[in-house]
A = this chain, B = another copy of it.
Amino acid sequence: MKRTGSNFKYSKETEELARFSKALGHPARIIILKHLSNQSCCYTGELLDVLPLAQSTISQHLKELKDAGLIDGEVSPPKIKYCIHTENWMKAQKLFDTLFKEDFKKIKCC
């Protein structure tokens, strides 16, 4: 993002929604999230059986989800338990909800 000199700033909410969306913007990561929830939350590496990807690639996707704040990893040697980050997940839910609700107020026109 360059944004040419101008010190324009997107609102925090907008940035956040974009960040969450971006994290959801790859099918593998959606699968991961669904899997995390189905398996009653915390979980990890049998993602290798679920996704057609190399271990390192999956690890990378997990990192992105973590960076976006959607999941959380707890070390529980030798494995690592990943869970959905409840607080942020709720925040994301709310942000999406708002976006869609807002937009629906005035839809249907042209």
Contact = CB atoms under 8 A, between A and B. Distances in A.
A47 interface: no
Contacts of A93: 100, 104
Contacts of A104: 37, 93
Contact of A110 (B18, B25, B83): B83
Given A14-B31, A26-B22, A107 B41 contact: yes
20 contacts: A6-B52, A10-B31, A15-B27, A17-B30, A18-B25, A21-B24, A21-B25, A23-B25, A33-B103, A34-B102, A34-B103, A36-B103, A37-B103, A37-B105, A40-B106, A74-B110, A86-B107, A89-B100, A89-B103, A96-B100
